[in-house]
Amino acid sequence: MSSPPVDDFIAREARFGARNYEPLGVVLSRGEGVFVWDTQGNRYLDCLSAYSALNQGHCHPKILAAMVEQAGRLTLTSRAFHNDQLAPFYEEIAELTGSHKVLPMNSGAEAVESAIKSVRKWGYEVKGVPDGQAEIIVCANNFHGRTLGVVGFSTDAATREHFGPFAPGFRIIPFGDLAALEAAITPNTVAFLVEPIQGEAGVIIPPAGYFTGVRELCTAHEVMLILDEIQTGLGRTGKLLAEQHEGIEADVTLLGKALSGGFYPVSAVLSNNEVLGTLKPGQHGSTFGGNPLACAVARAALRVLVEEGMIENAAVQGERFLQGLGSIRANTVREVRGRGLMLAVELNPEAGRARRYCEALQLEGILAKDTHEHTIRFAPPLVITSDQVDWALERIAAILTQDLT
């Protein structure tokens, strides 16, 4: 069987597509578990997992079966009518995460936007903040998505530049700095929006105890703690939610990405207080949010995550992967970071661009993604085995000990 050459797909993409991505030169046509295959039949270990949307692995058979079954029965009702998948989805996700209320959306950025709207409304109607004065605190180097509302409080030049004007009402503080949080809180602060571990910034793990302090400050000042667990959640860090590493509970938790196991965009705002209760009919919505296909897929995605021990496996294999990366002796490596299967190698600036190492890894059968010039991120599906981790480590070590400047 022959397929058009790789360059042909890439050139056609370039000709017709907006060039808002710079993908590695590989064209994929099939995936199964931790592996993907390109159009030429070469196999790769996927160490990106679509930015953690594929925690359950590619094309998980049980999620696929749920999707196919539901797709043949009922896909979309809109929220103008009830459907028989939404209630069980609510019950199951609330039970699993210990949440009281659920708002279903589609993309991660929509979940972030929905949380911002909800906490503002809560601020005006419950906390008593004067209308139009609500403030939300966020962190430098955050990543919460690409909508206008969200990029307005990014600190990354490429993300923001020439997309303004932006919405006011956000204060930016350094990540991991409790004193800065305390200083930024005013009587008009309604929420602190933060990632448990900053993913796109390069897997930045805050100092131990940071989130315990954050929780205390938020409670003391009646500020809603919104944890964006769109990337860290659903097993990625070796716990169902990354907040569990800190023994805290957010007021509002955002999930997306792996909530559908990579089949379909499904996101959710979860809250354990009155925040979502402020939304009344007609005040917020989404045509596709909570549709029966999304709910059926998400239910299956959550079920296999728990039933197949993927969260525990992420903890075990993450430890193995981190140890292995840490034992690579190479001048190129400046630091190795990780929790669970959310891992990164930061290169010394003299080692050259991380992209070059990702290209070299591709030739060895590993797909990984550079972030911020000098960092390579490793985030395989949570179904990875010890043998596969060892296989990857051997190849990663071989590449990192080369000079690719």
Ligand X SMILES: *Cc1c(COP(=O)(O)O)cnc(C)c1O
Binding positions for ligand X, rule: CB under 6 A:
51, 107-109, 112, 143-145, 195, 199, 228, 230-231, 256-257
CB of 52 to ligand X, least distance (A): 7
257 carries an active-site annotation: yes
CA distance 226 to 40: 44
CA distance 249 to 247: 7
**Active-site option among 46, 228, 251, 370:** 228
- Looking at beta carbons only, is 257 or 284 nearer to ligand X? 257
- Looking at beta carbons only, is 241 or 399 nearer to ligand X? 241
Residues 6 or more apart from 183 whose CB is under 8 A from it?
A: 173
CB of 386 to ligand X, least distance (A): 27
Closest CA to 226 of 175, 187, 182, 275: 275
CB of 109 to ligand X, least distance (A): 3
- Looking at beta carbons only, is 333 or 369 nearer to ligand X? 369
Closest CA to 102 of 87, 85, 121: 87
322 in Cβ contact with 336 (< 8 Å): yes
Backbone angle region of 341, left / alpha / beta, with phi > 0 → left and psi within -120 to 50 → alpha: alpha
**Active-site option among 101, 121, 257, 369:** 257
Which stretches within 58-99 are classed as H helix?
A: 61-71, 86-97
46 in Cβ contact with 28 (< 8 Å): no
111 phi and psi, to 5 degrees? -65, -40
- Looking at beta carbons only, is 102 or 109 nearer to ligand X? 109
- Looking at beta carbons only, is 351 or 367 nearer to ligand X? 367
**Active-site option among 89, 143, 288, 378:** 143
228 carries an active-site annotation: yes
CB of 6 to ligand X, least distance (A): 26
Q: What is the DSSP string of 237-295?
A: TSSSSTHHHHT---SEEEE-GGGGTTSS--EEEEESSSTGGG--TTSS--SSTT-HHHH
Matching residue, tokens 């103008």: 80
349 CB-contact burial (10 Å; exposed 0-12 / middle 13-18 / buried 19+): exposed
- Looking at beta carbons only, is 129 or 230 nearer to ligand X? 230
CB of 18 to ligand X, least distance (A): 16
Q: Which residue is nearest to ligand X (CB)?
A: 108
70 in Cβ contact with 286 (< 8 Å): no
CB of 294 to ligand X, least distance (A): 13
- Looking at beta carbons only, is 63 or 351 nearer to ligand X? 63
CA distance 290 to 295: 6
CB of 270 to ligand X, least distance (A): 14
Residues tagged active-site: 143, 228, 257
